[in-house]
Chain A
Amino acid sequence: MNKSTPSLWKATFAIVRKDLAAEFRSFELVSAMLVFSLLVIIIFNFALELDIKVREAANAGILWTTFAFAGTLGLNRSMSVEKDRGCMDGLLLAPVDRSAIYFGKALSNLAFMFIVEAIVIPMYSMLYNVNLFRIDLLVVILLGSIGYAAVGTLLAAMSVQTRMREVLLPILLFPVAIPVLLAAVKCSSGLLAGDPFSDILTPFNLLLVYDIIFIAIAFMTFDFVVEE
Protein backbone atom coordinates (compact mmCIF):
# COMPACT_ATOMS: atom_id res chain seq x y z
CA MET A 1 0.00 0.00 0.00
CA ASN A 2 1.46 3.36 -1.06
CA LYS A 3 0.41 6.59 0.54
CA SER A 4 1.25 10.22 -0.05
CA THR A 5 -0.11 13.36 1.57
CA PRO A 6 -3.02 14.47 -0.63
CA SER A 7 -2.90 17.95 -2.11
CA LEU A 8 -5.14 20.73 -0.78
CA TRP A 9 -7.53 20.35 -3.71
CA LYS A 10 -7.69 16.55 -3.58
CA ALA A 11 -8.62 16.72 0.11
CA THR A 12 -11.08 19.56 -0.56
CA PHE A 13 -12.89 17.59 -3.25
CA ALA A 14 -12.88 14.44 -1.12
CA ILE A 15 -14.87 16.41 1.50
CA VAL A 16 -17.24 17.89 -1.10
CA ARG A 17 -17.82 14.44 -2.62
CA LYS A 18 -18.51 12.94 0.81
CA ASP A 19 -20.94 15.73 1.76
CA LEU A 20 -22.84 15.50 -1.54
CA ALA A 21 -23.03 11.69 -1.38
CA ALA A 22 -24.39 11.82 2.19
CA GLU A 23 -26.89 14.57 1.29
CA PHE A 24 -28.17 12.90 -1.87
CA ARG A 25 -28.89 9.83 0.23
CA SER A 26 -30.71 11.55 3.09
CA PHE A 27 -31.91 14.89 1.61
CA GLU A 28 -32.14 16.14 5.22
CA LEU A 29 -30.35 19.41 4.74
CA VAL A 30 -31.57 20.53 1.32
CA SER A 31 -35.18 19.57 2.03
CA ALA A 32 -35.18 21.60 5.27
CA MET A 33 -33.64 24.60 3.49
CA LEU A 34 -36.08 24.27 0.62
CA VAL A 35 -39.23 23.99 2.71
CA PHE A 36 -38.12 26.96 4.80
CA SER A 37 -37.38 29.06 1.70
CA LEU A 38 -40.71 28.28 0.10
CA LEU A 39 -42.54 29.13 3.32
CA VAL A 40 -40.78 32.49 3.53
CA ILE A 41 -41.60 33.49 -0.05
CA ILE A 42 -45.22 32.33 0.31
CA ILE A 43 -45.66 34.27 3.58
CA PHE A 44 -44.20 37.43 2.01
CA ASN A 45 -46.40 36.86 -1.04
CA PHE A 46 -49.53 36.88 1.10
CA ALA A 47 -48.31 39.75 3.28
CA LEU A 48 -47.61 42.05 0.30
CA GLU A 49 -50.39 40.80 -1.99
CA LEU A 50 -52.41 44.01 -2.22
CA ASP A 51 -49.61 46.49 -2.62
CA ILE A 52 -47.98 45.88 -6.02
CA LYS A 53 -45.62 48.87 -5.76
CA VAL A 54 -44.26 47.73 -2.40
CA ARG A 55 -43.92 44.21 -3.77
CA GLU A 56 -41.84 45.37 -6.72
CA ALA A 57 -39.60 47.47 -4.49
CA ALA A 58 -39.20 44.67 -1.96
CA ASN A 59 -38.30 41.87 -4.42
CA ALA A 60 -34.55 41.98 -3.88
CA GLY A 61 -34.93 42.22 -0.10
CA ILE A 62 -37.31 39.25 0.09
CA LEU A 63 -35.09 37.18 -2.18
CA TRP A 64 -31.96 37.76 -0.09
CA THR A 65 -33.81 37.37 3.23
CA THR A 66 -34.93 33.96 1.95
CA PHE A 67 -31.42 32.96 0.83
CA ALA A 68 -29.82 34.21 4.05
CA PHE A 69 -32.24 32.43 6.41
CA ALA A 70 -32.18 29.19 4.44
CA GLY A 71 -28.39 29.41 4.15
CA THR A 72 -28.05 29.75 7.94
CA LEU A 73 -30.16 26.64 8.40
CA GLY A 74 -27.92 24.71 6.02
CA LEU A 75 -24.66 26.00 7.54
CA ASN A 76 -25.75 24.98 11.03
CA ARG A 77 -26.77 21.49 9.94
CA SER A 78 -23.72 20.91 7.77
CA MET A 79 -21.34 21.57 10.68
CA SER A 80 -23.53 19.78 13.26
CA VAL A 81 -23.21 16.56 11.23
CA GLU A 82 -19.43 16.79 11.64
CA LYS A 83 -19.56 17.63 15.34
CA ASP A 84 -22.27 15.29 16.61
CA ARG A 85 -20.50 12.02 15.83
CA GLY A 86 -17.00 13.36 16.35
CA CYS A 87 -16.40 13.42 12.59
CA MET A 88 -14.76 16.83 12.89
CA ASP A 89 -11.99 15.08 14.83
CA GLY A 90 -11.78 12.56 11.98
CA LEU A 91 -11.21 15.42 9.55
CA LEU A 92 -8.71 17.14 11.83
CA LEU A 93 -6.74 13.89 12.21
CA ALA A 94 -6.11 13.64 8.47
CA PRO A 95 -2.60 14.70 7.43
CA VAL A 96 -3.86 17.49 5.20
CA ASP A 97 -3.69 21.27 5.32
CA ARG A 98 -6.62 22.29 7.52
CA SER A 99 -7.64 24.88 4.93
CA ALA A 100 -8.80 21.88 2.87
CA ILE A 101 -11.44 21.24 5.52
CA TYR A 102 -12.60 24.84 5.30
CA PHE A 103 -12.70 24.90 1.50
CA GLY A 104 -14.39 21.50 1.39
CA LYS A 105 -17.14 22.49 3.81
CA ALA A 106 -17.56 25.95 2.21
CA LEU A 107 -17.92 24.42 -1.28
CA SER A 108 -20.44 21.86 0.00
CA ASN A 109 -22.45 24.60 1.71
CA LEU A 110 -22.32 26.65 -1.48
CA ALA A 111 -23.53 23.66 -3.51
CA PHE A 112 -26.49 23.21 -1.13
CA MET A 113 -27.33 26.92 -1.42
CA PHE A 114 -27.20 26.69 -5.23
CA ILE A 115 -29.53 23.67 -5.26
CA VAL A 116 -32.06 25.54 -3.11
CA GLU A 117 -31.68 28.73 -5.17
CA ALA A 118 -32.21 26.77 -8.41
CA ILE A 119 -35.64 25.73 -7.12
CA VAL A 120 -36.55 28.95 -5.29
CA ILE A 121 -35.81 31.30 -8.23
CA PRO A 122 -38.42 29.82 -10.62
CA MET A 123 -40.96 29.57 -7.78
CA TYR A 124 -40.31 33.19 -6.87
CA SER A 125 -40.62 34.28 -10.50
CA MET A 126 -44.03 32.62 -10.73
CA LEU A 127 -45.43 33.84 -7.40
CA TYR A 128 -44.17 37.44 -7.72
CA ASN A 129 -44.53 37.72 -11.49
CA VAL A 130 -40.96 38.91 -11.98
CA ASN A 131 -38.29 37.58 -14.33
CA LEU A 132 -35.25 36.53 -12.30
CA PHE A 133 -33.67 34.55 -15.15
CA ARG A 134 -31.21 37.24 -16.15
CA ILE A 135 -27.55 36.49 -16.47
CA ASP A 136 -26.49 39.68 -14.62
CA LEU A 137 -28.83 38.93 -11.71
CA LEU A 138 -27.67 35.30 -11.59
CA VAL A 139 -24.04 36.52 -11.38
CA VAL A 140 -25.00 38.73 -8.41
CA ILE A 141 -26.75 35.76 -6.74
CA LEU A 142 -23.65 33.64 -7.37
CA LEU A 143 -21.30 36.23 -5.82
CA GLY A 144 -23.62 36.92 -2.88
CA SER A 145 -23.92 33.20 -2.14
CA ILE A 146 -20.13 32.74 -2.32
CA GLY A 147 -19.59 35.53 0.21
CA TYR A 148 -22.32 34.24 2.51
CA ALA A 149 -21.06 30.64 2.40
CA ALA A 150 -17.43 31.78 2.87
CA VAL A 151 -18.05 33.73 6.07
CA GLY A 152 -20.86 31.42 7.22
CA THR A 153 -18.71 28.29 7.09
CA LEU A 154 -16.04 29.91 9.26
CA LEU A 155 -18.57 31.12 11.82
CA ALA A 156 -20.45 27.81 11.79
CA ALA A 157 -17.17 26.01 12.58
CA MET A 158 -16.80 28.40 15.52
CA SER A 159 -20.38 28.24 16.83
CA VAL A 160 -20.75 24.47 16.47
CA GLN A 161 -18.29 24.03 19.33
CA THR A 162 -20.63 25.81 21.75
CA ARG A 163 -23.77 24.59 23.49
CA MET A 164 -25.86 27.43 22.00
CA ARG A 165 -24.86 26.71 18.41
CA GLU A 166 -28.34 27.03 16.81
CA VAL A 167 -28.80 30.46 18.40
CA LEU A 168 -25.22 31.63 18.19
CA LEU A 169 -24.68 31.19 14.44
CA PRO A 170 -27.30 33.73 13.28
CA ILE A 171 -26.24 36.14 16.05
CA LEU A 172 -22.65 36.00 14.82
CA LEU A 173 -23.32 35.63 11.12
CA PHE A 174 -25.89 38.31 10.30
CA PRO A 175 -23.87 41.30 11.56
CA VAL A 176 -20.69 40.04 9.88
CA ALA A 177 -22.48 39.22 6.61
CA ILE A 178 -24.22 42.62 6.42
CA PRO A 179 -21.72 44.05 3.86
CA VAL A 180 -22.29 41.09 1.53
CA LEU A 181 -26.06 41.13 1.98
CA LEU A 182 -26.32 44.93 1.55
CA ALA A 183 -24.20 44.89 -1.59
CA ALA A 184 -26.16 41.93 -3.00
CA VAL A 185 -29.53 43.59 -2.27
CA LYS A 186 -28.39 46.89 -3.81
CA CYS A 187 -27.16 45.14 -6.96
CA SER A 188 -30.28 42.97 -7.24
CA SER A 189 -32.76 45.82 -6.70
CA GLY A 190 -30.91 47.98 -9.23
CA LEU A 191 -31.00 45.21 -11.83
CA LEU A 192 -34.68 44.40 -11.18
CA ALA A 193 -35.55 48.12 -11.47
CA GLY A 194 -33.89 48.15 -14.91
CA ASP A 195 -30.99 50.43 -13.94
CA PRO A 196 -27.94 50.34 -16.23
CA PHE A 197 -25.02 48.20 -14.99
CA SER A 198 -22.85 51.32 -14.50
CA ASP A 199 -25.27 52.42 -11.73
CA ILE A 200 -24.73 49.27 -9.72
CA LEU A 201 -20.98 49.08 -10.31
CA THR A 202 -20.11 50.32 -6.79
CA PRO A 203 -22.14 47.69 -4.86
CA PHE A 204 -21.05 45.05 -7.41
CA ASN A 205 -17.37 45.85 -6.80
CA LEU A 206 -18.01 45.87 -3.05
CA LEU A 207 -19.55 42.40 -3.37
CA LEU A 208 -16.48 41.14 -5.23
CA VAL A 209 -14.07 42.68 -2.71
CA TYR A 210 -15.99 41.32 0.29
CA ASP A 211 -15.97 37.84 -1.25
CA ILE A 212 -12.19 37.97 -1.62
CA ILE A 213 -11.69 39.42 1.89
CA PHE A 214 -13.95 36.86 3.56
CA ILE A 215 -12.32 33.91 1.78
CA ALA A 216 -8.84 35.21 2.65
CA ILE A 217 -9.71 35.78 6.33
CA ALA A 218 -11.33 32.35 6.63
CA PHE A 219 -8.32 30.70 4.93
CA MET A 220 -5.95 32.35 7.42
CA THR A 221 -7.96 31.80 10.59
CA PHE A 222 -9.71 28.43 10.16
CA ASP A 223 -6.83 26.50 11.74
CA PHE A 224 -7.15 28.54 14.97
CA VAL A 225 -10.95 28.30 14.98
CA VAL A 226 -11.05 24.50 14.92
CA GLU A 227 -8.13 23.96 17.28
CA GLU A 228 -8.92 23.26 20.92
Chain B
Amino acid sequence: MIQVKKLVKRFGLKTILRGLDFSVAQGEFVALLGPNGAGKTTFLRILASLSRPSLGEVRIAGHRLPHDAAQVRAKLGVVSHMPLLYPDLTAEENLQFYARMYGIDGMDARITEVLDLVGLERRRKDLVRAFSRGMQQRLAIGRAVIHNPEVMLFDEPYTGLDQDASEMLDEVLRSVAAKGRTVVMTSHDLVRAEELATRFDILSRGVITASAARADLKQTNLLSFYKQSLES
Protein backbone atom coordinates (compact mmCIF):
# COMPACT_ATOMS: atom_id res chain seq x y z
CA MET B 1 0.00 0.00 0.00
CA ILE B 2 2.88 2.40 0.84
CA GLN B 3 6.31 2.13 -0.77
CA VAL B 4 9.10 4.60 -0.08
CA LYS B 5 12.53 4.24 -1.66
CA LYS B 6 15.66 6.23 -0.85
CA LEU B 7 13.68 9.24 0.38
CA VAL B 8 15.70 12.37 1.06
CA LYS B 9 14.29 15.61 2.44
CA ARG B 10 16.38 18.73 2.82
CA PHE B 11 15.45 22.09 4.26
CA GLY B 12 18.17 24.40 2.95
CA LEU B 13 21.49 22.92 4.04
CA LYS B 14 19.89 20.69 6.68
CA THR B 15 19.10 17.11 5.68
CA ILE B 16 16.21 15.65 7.67
CA LEU B 17 15.61 12.34 5.87
CA ARG B 18 18.67 10.52 4.53
CA GLY B 19 17.71 7.86 1.99
CA LEU B 20 14.82 6.38 3.96
CA ASP B 21 13.27 3.07 2.78
CA PHE B 22 9.86 2.09 4.11
CA SER B 23 6.95 -0.07 3.03
CA VAL B 24 3.58 -0.96 4.52
CA ALA B 25 1.27 -3.73 3.37
CA GLN B 26 -2.50 -3.26 3.14
CA GLY B 27 -4.19 -3.55 6.55
CA GLU B 28 -0.95 -3.18 8.53
CA PHE B 29 -0.81 -0.82 11.55
CA VAL B 30 2.73 0.55 11.77
CA ALA B 31 3.94 2.55 14.76
CA LEU B 32 6.76 4.87 13.73
CA LEU B 33 8.84 5.56 16.82
CA GLY B 34 11.88 7.72 17.39
CA PRO B 35 13.34 10.59 19.38
CA ASN B 36 12.44 14.24 18.83
CA GLY B 37 13.98 15.59 15.65
CA ALA B 38 14.32 12.17 14.04
CA GLY B 39 12.18 13.28 11.07
CA LYS B 40 8.89 11.50 11.88
CA THR B 41 6.62 14.48 11.26
CA THR B 42 8.55 15.48 8.13
CA PHE B 43 8.16 11.93 6.82
CA LEU B 44 4.43 11.87 7.54
CA ARG B 45 3.96 15.27 5.86
CA ILE B 46 5.63 13.90 2.73
CA LEU B 47 3.33 10.84 2.80
CA ALA B 48 0.38 13.23 3.22
CA SER B 49 1.53 15.23 0.14
CA LEU B 50 1.92 18.35 2.29
CA SER B 51 5.64 18.49 1.58
CA ARG B 52 7.66 17.52 -1.50
CA PRO B 53 10.52 15.02 -1.28
CA SER B 54 13.92 16.37 -2.29
CA LEU B 55 14.91 12.97 -3.74
CA GLY B 56 13.55 9.46 -3.81
CA GLU B 57 10.30 7.73 -4.67
CA VAL B 58 7.03 7.65 -2.76
CA ARG B 59 4.05 5.55 -3.87
CA ILE B 60 0.73 5.25 -2.08
CA ALA B 61 -2.00 2.90 -3.35
CA GLY B 62 -0.12 2.72 -6.66
CA HIS B 63 0.02 6.50 -7.14
CA ARG B 64 3.29 8.42 -7.25
CA LEU B 65 3.93 11.50 -5.17
CA PRO B 66 4.04 14.39 -5.85
CA HIS B 67 2.74 13.81 -9.42
CA ASP B 68 -0.54 12.12 -8.45
CA ALA B 69 -1.05 14.08 -5.24
CA ALA B 70 -4.80 14.67 -5.76
CA GLN B 71 -5.45 10.91 -6.24
CA VAL B 72 -3.36 10.13 -3.15
CA ARG B 73 -5.16 12.75 -1.05
CA ALA B 74 -8.52 11.18 -1.93
CA LYS B 75 -7.32 7.94 -0.31
CA LEU B 76 -5.66 9.47 2.74
CA GLY B 77 -6.95 10.47 6.15
CA VAL B 78 -4.60 12.52 8.32
CA VAL B 79 -4.79 13.24 12.05
CA SER B 80 -2.12 15.38 13.68
CA HIS B 81 -1.81 16.84 17.17
CA MET B 82 -3.68 19.87 15.81
CA PRO B 83 -7.37 19.16 15.21
CA LEU B 84 -7.69 20.98 11.84
CA LEU B 85 -11.18 22.07 12.91
CA TYR B 86 -12.91 25.46 12.91
CA PRO B 87 -13.83 26.52 16.46
CA ASP B 88 -16.68 28.81 15.37
CA LEU B 89 -18.49 26.01 13.53
CA THR B 90 -20.40 23.15 15.13
CA ALA B 91 -19.18 19.56 14.93
CA GLU B 92 -21.75 18.92 12.21
CA GLU B 93 -20.79 22.04 10.21
CA ASN B 94 -17.11 21.09 10.35
CA LEU B 95 -17.88 17.64 8.98
CA GLN B 96 -20.24 19.09 6.36
CA PHE B 97 -17.45 21.37 5.15
CA TYR B 98 -14.95 18.53 4.82
CA ALA B 99 -17.60 16.28 3.23
CA ARG B 100 -18.12 18.96 0.56
CA MET B 101 -14.36 19.24 0.01
CA TYR B 102 -14.19 15.47 -0.57
CA GLY B 103 -17.29 15.45 -2.80
CA ILE B 104 -19.28 13.02 -0.65
CA ASP B 105 -22.81 12.17 -1.75
CA GLY B 106 -25.35 11.40 0.98
CA MET B 107 -23.47 13.69 3.31
CA ASP B 108 -25.98 13.68 6.21
CA ALA B 109 -26.06 9.90 6.60
CA ARG B 110 -22.27 9.73 6.49
CA ILE B 111 -21.91 12.50 9.10
CA THR B 112 -24.27 10.66 11.47
CA GLU B 113 -22.28 7.46 10.94
CA VAL B 114 -18.97 9.22 11.65
CA LEU B 115 -20.27 11.06 14.73
CA ASP B 116 -21.52 7.72 16.05
CA LEU B 117 -18.09 6.18 15.44
CA VAL B 118 -16.31 8.87 17.46
CA GLY B 119 -19.04 9.06 20.13
CA LEU B 120 -20.08 12.65 19.49
CA GLU B 121 -23.57 12.20 18.01
CA ARG B 122 -25.19 13.99 20.95
CA ARG B 123 -22.83 16.96 20.58
CA ARG B 124 -23.31 17.42 16.81
CA LYS B 125 -24.89 20.88 17.18
CA ASP B 126 -22.31 22.17 19.66
CA LEU B 127 -19.58 24.60 18.69
CA VAL B 128 -16.13 23.03 18.50
CA ARG B 129 -14.73 25.82 20.69
CA ALA B 130 -16.80 24.37 23.57
CA PHE B 131 -15.22 20.92 23.17
CA SER B 132 -12.47 19.55 25.41
CA ARG B 133 -9.12 18.66 23.83
CA GLY B 134 -10.09 14.97 23.86
CA MET B 135 -13.42 15.61 22.13
CA GLN B 136 -11.72 17.79 19.53
CA GLN B 137 -9.25 15.01 18.83
CA ARG B 138 -12.07 12.49 18.42
CA LEU B 139 -13.85 14.84 16.05
CA ALA B 140 -10.54 15.28 14.21
CA ILE B 141 -10.54 11.53 13.62
CA GLY B 142 -14.13 11.83 12.38
CA ARG B 143 -12.97 14.54 9.99
CA ALA B 144 -10.13 12.34 8.77
CA VAL B 145 -12.37 9.30 8.08
CA ILE B 146 -15.34 11.21 6.60
CA HIS B 147 -14.35 10.10 3.06
CA ASN B 148 -13.62 6.50 4.18
CA PRO B 149 -9.89 6.59 3.33
CA GLU B 150 -7.82 3.48 2.67
CA VAL B 151 -4.75 4.85 4.45
CA MET B 152 -4.66 6.69 7.78
CA LEU B 153 -1.73 8.76 9.01
CA PHE B 154 -1.63 9.72 12.70
CA ASP B 155 1.02 12.19 13.86
CA GLU B 156 1.30 12.14 17.67
CA PRO B 157 -2.48 11.88 18.15
CA TYR B 158 -2.16 11.61 21.96
CA THR B 159 -0.38 14.94 22.45
CA GLY B 160 -2.08 16.98 25.19
CA LEU B 161 -4.68 14.34 26.11
CA ASP B 162 -5.37 13.26 29.67
CA GLN B 163 -5.70 9.59 30.68
CA ASP B 164 -9.45 9.33 30.08
CA ALA B 165 -9.30 11.09 26.74
CA SER B 166 -6.37 8.86 25.69
CA GLU B 167 -8.34 5.72 26.55
CA MET B 168 -11.32 6.97 24.54
CA LEU B 169 -8.99 7.74 21.64
CA ASP B 170 -7.60 4.18 21.89
CA GLU B 171 -11.07 2.80 21.25
CA VAL B 172 -11.68 5.12 18.31
CA LEU B 173 -8.28 4.25 16.83
CA ARG B 174 -8.98 0.53 17.20
CA SER B 175 -12.34 0.83 15.45
CA VAL B 176 -10.76 2.90 12.65
CA ALA B 177 -7.99 0.33 12.17
CA ALA B 178 -10.39 -2.61 12.44
CA LYS B 179 -11.99 -1.69 9.11
CA GLY B 180 -8.98 -3.05 7.20
CA ARG B 181 -7.34 0.33 6.81
CA THR B 182 -3.59 0.75 6.51
CA VAL B 183 -2.37 2.89 9.41
CA VAL B 184 0.91 4.67 10.09
CA MET B 185 1.15 6.36 13.49
CA THR B 186 4.02 8.32 15.01
CA SER B 187 4.11 8.38 18.78
CA HIS B 188 6.28 8.82 21.85
CA ASP B 189 3.84 6.73 23.86
CA LEU B 190 5.40 3.26 23.64
CA VAL B 191 2.71 1.63 25.80
CA ARG B 192 -0.09 2.73 23.52
CA ALA B 193 1.91 1.95 20.39
CA GLU B 194 2.55 -1.58 21.70
CA GLU B 195 -1.19 -2.10 22.29
CA LEU B 196 -2.32 -0.85 18.91
CA ALA B 197 0.29 -1.51 16.23
CA THR B 198 1.14 -4.71 14.37
CA ARG B 199 4.63 -3.51 13.45
CA PHE B 200 7.14 -1.11 15.01
CA ASP B 201 9.69 0.88 13.00
CA ILE B 202 12.35 3.01 14.65
CA LEU B 203 13.24 6.22 12.84
CA SER B 204 16.48 7.81 13.94
CA ARG B 205 18.61 10.49 12.26
CA GLY B 206 16.54 10.33 9.09
CA VAL B 207 16.55 6.58 8.42
CA ILE B 208 14.69 3.51 9.66
CA THR B 209 17.21 1.84 11.95
CA ALA B 210 15.12 -1.15 13.08
CA SER B 211 11.81 -2.81 12.38
CA ALA B 212 9.96 -5.57 14.21
CA ALA B 213 6.57 -7.22 13.93
CA ARG B 214 4.48 -7.64 17.07
CA ALA B 215 5.08 -11.40 16.94
CA ASP B 216 8.85 -10.85 16.99
CA LEU B 217 8.62 -8.87 20.23
CA LYS B 218 7.32 -11.76 22.32
CA GLN B 219 10.69 -12.33 24.00
CA THR B 220 11.30 -8.72 24.80
CA ASN B 221 9.20 -5.61 25.32
CA LEU B 222 8.92 -2.61 23.04
CA LEU B 223 10.87 -0.32 25.37
CA SER B 224 14.01 -2.48 25.34
CA PHE B 225 13.70 -2.99 21.55
CA TYR B 226 13.41 0.79 21.15
CA LYS B 227 16.42 1.49 23.39
CA GLN B 228 18.55 -1.15 21.69
CA SER B 229 17.67 0.21 18.26
CA LEU B 230 18.67 3.74 19.23
CA GLU B 231 21.92 2.61 20.88
CA SER B 232 22.95 0.55 17.85
Contacts and interface: CB of A to CB of B under 8 A. Distances in A.
Given A93-B73, A93-B76, A96-B70, A85 B87 contact: yes
A22 B50 contact: no
Contacts of B73: 93-95
B89 A3 contact: no
Interface in A1-44: 1-6, 10-11, 14-15, 17-18, 21-23, 25-26
Interface residues of B, number: 37
Contacts of B127: 25
B168 interface: no
B86 A5 contact: no
A21 B102 contact: no
B22 interface: no
A227 B100 CA distance: 22
Contacts of A92: 49-50
A3 B105 contact: yes
A155 B105 CA distance: 35
Contacts of B86: 18, 22, 81, 85, 87
A11 B86 CA distance: 17
A95 B50 contact: no
B89 A6 contact: no
B156 to A, nearest CB: 12
A10 B98 CA distance: 12
A86 interface: yes
A227 B148 CA distance: 25
Contacts of A10: 100, 103
Interface of A: 1-6, 10-11, 14-15, 17-18, 21-23, 25-26, 81, 85-87, 89-97, 227-228
Nearest first, the 6 closest Cβ-Cβ pairs linking A and B are A86-B82, A90-B84, A14-B100, A94-B101, A95-B74, A6-B103
Interface of B: 45, 48-52, 70-71, 73-74, 76, 78, 80, 82-89, 93, 97-98, 100-106, 109-110, 127, 143, 147-148
